[in-house]
Amino acid sequence: MATIATSVADTCAAAKRAARTLAQLDTSVKDAALQAIAAALVARADEVLAANELDMQAADRRSASEADIGDALLDRLRLDETRLAAIAAAVRQIAALADPVGEVIDGHRLPNGLDVRKVRVPLGVVAVVYEARPNVTIDAAALCLKSGNAIVLRGSSSAVHSNAVLARIAAEAAVAAGLPDGCVSLVAGGGREELAELATQRDSVDLIIPRGGEGLKDALQAVATVPVIYAASGNCHVYVDACADIEQARAIVINAKTQRPGVCNAAETLLVHESIAAAFLPAMLDALADAGVTVRADERTRALAASLWEDDSSRAAAGNGATTGAAGRRAPHQKIIEDATEQDWATEYLAPILAVAVVDCVEDAIEHIARYGSGHSEAIVTRDTAAARAFQLGVDAACVYVNASTRFTDGGEFGMGAEIGNSTQKLHARGPIGLRELCTSKYLIEGDGHVRA
């Protein structure tokens, strides 16, 4: 069956018809379909990787002829056997999760004898719009099908070949396993006009989830009449408090920044309490330099780095041969530190760049995050329970960590199998968007000839 249709309206109408059937299917049927999708991904791996290679070659050509599209984008676009196996494993994990459909949220008997239950039900048709992440094609499809929703996918032109093959494999496997035609579909080939058409299908689409940069968010905000949950960008912070374990803090910062810098839960700003800065920053700056990270620092950080350089130079001139790096490399700070601008504090780099500032107290860190953060993921490193509690209560974000890396903000890490994105909104869903977040609720009321007096 075709997963790419010429008409957005026809595709969404077919998805609406499929959604009515999906909402009534037994869990066993949905789980069998997910297992079939996972098996098909493995069996047709060569087909997927060949399509992805076409996208990678096109990206390389664009990078050479136009502008550097960035290592982060290329990393998000690239598939290999290991990543494809992980995608298939995530589908199986979703199949193994409890089905949210029909789950009783609340229930009670009224004084008049009516039995009232509030239960989870599918949203209906979910449209997912995403950029340069072919894995989202399968993650989103699996989550929607398990939660009884039909899905309409719209990927970016940079992953057009990968998305087409992945969507086709998912649709064919799902329908062969007993799910209705139209349960998984892909719209592709159009520009902003196609996006606008999808975002205004109020009769058939129940929710749109965009997963991409601010440009995509702005484009949808300008035209959408369908409800939207924005899986927004992540300007994430790590704050090292006065009472932090220094070694623990260094490990957390390096992981949050460098483990995969091109993703939304990577740290973009490091805040350090002034009382620990002199003890913490020298080795931290060295570690960042070793990891290839460029630091954009405030005046206090630059002054501290300059004083360290001068002290090291003085000792070396006196014959001490002092060095700052563990491998005997003298004070790298001048090479890696740039002046931070106002824009740097609000920037999601998605690259090996880290903004660094020294603050006077936990309240100043909270204020900085409130001013510049995106509400995604924020972390404090501290042994002080009062400071940790103040941070947890004061920071307004979907995920707030104490003594842990921001990189854990992920549906898979949270036990959801996968996620469609991470919502920074406050209504309906916040944080990783998993199975329950793809449901709404209805009240089921049972009586015995009751009439209202």
Look at the chain and report how many structural domains it folds into. Answer: 2
Query: Per mean pLDDT, which range of 254-263, 298-307, 321-330 is the poorest?
Result: 321-330
CB 269 within 8 A of CB 411: no
Residues 9, 381: Cα–Cα separation, whole Å: 50
- Residue 74: how many CB atoms within 10 A of its CB? 17
Residue 71 has pLDDT above 90, yes or no: no
Does 431 lie in the same domain as 302? no
Amino acid identity of 209? I
**What is the rounded average pLDDT of the residues 140-164?**
95
The one-letter amino acid code at 317 reads A
Same domain for 110 and 192, yes or no, is yes
Residue-wise pLDDT for 386-410, tens only, equals 999 999 999 999 999 999 999 999 9
In a domain, 2, yes or no: no
Check whether residue 23 and residue 133 sit in a common domain. yes
Q: What is the CATH number of the domain that holds 107?
A: 3.40.605.10
The torsion angles phi and psi of 294, rounded to 5 degrees, stand at -90, 135
pLDDT in tens, 346-369: 999 999 999 999 999 999 999 999
Asked if residue 265 and residue 192 are part of one domain, the reply reads no
143 and 261 in one domain?
A: no
List, in sequence order, every residue forming a beta bridge with 296; answer none if it has no partner. Answer: 338, 355
**Residue that has been written with the tokens 């139209």 in this structure:** 182
Token digits for 414? 């949270």
User: In the numeric block, which tokens belong to residue 160?
Assistant: 């057009």
Task: Establish if 218 belongs to a structural domain.
Answer: yes
**Residues 201-231 as b or e (16 or more Cβ within 10 Å = b):** beebbbbbbbbbeeebbebbeeebebebbbb
The region, left, alpha or beta by phi > 0 then psi within -120 to 50, assigned to residue 450 is beta
For residues 135 and 128, what is the distance between their CA atoms, to the nearest angstrom?
12
Average pLDDT over residues 98-116: 97
Question: What is the per-residue pLDDT for 362?
Answer: 98
Q: 14 in a domain, yes or no?
A: yes
What is the pTM assigned to this prediction?
0.85
Return the half-sphere exposure (C-beta side, CA atoms, 13 A cut-off) of residue 421. Answer: 24
- Angle CA(357)–CA(360)–CA(362) in degrees, nearest 5? 95
CATH at residue 309 = 3.40.309.10
Q: The dihedral of CA 403, 406, 411, 413: what is its sign? A: negative
pLDDT digits (tens, 9 = 90+) for 410-422: 988 998 888 888 8
Among 429, 90, 74, residue whose Cα is nearest residue 231: 429
**Residue 326 vs residues 12, 253, 329: alpha-carbon distances, Å:** 59, 18, 7
Residue 289 lies in a domain: yes
My answer on whether 83 and 211 are in the same domain is yes
Residue 247 phi/psi, 5-degree rounding, is -65, -40
Assess if residue 452 is contained within a domain.
Answer: no
Q: What is the pLDDT of residues 417-449, one digit of tens each?
A: 888 888 988 888 999 999 999 999 999 999 999
Q: In the structure, how many helices (H) and strands (E) does the chain have?
A: 16, 16
Q: Give the CA distances from residue 144 to residues 88, 96, 129, 239, 240, in Å, rounded to whole numbers and listed in that order.
A: 15, 14, 14, 36, 39
- On whether both 62 and 210 belong to a single domain, the answer is yes
Range of the domain at 319: 236-408
Q: pLDDT at residue 329 above 60?
A: no
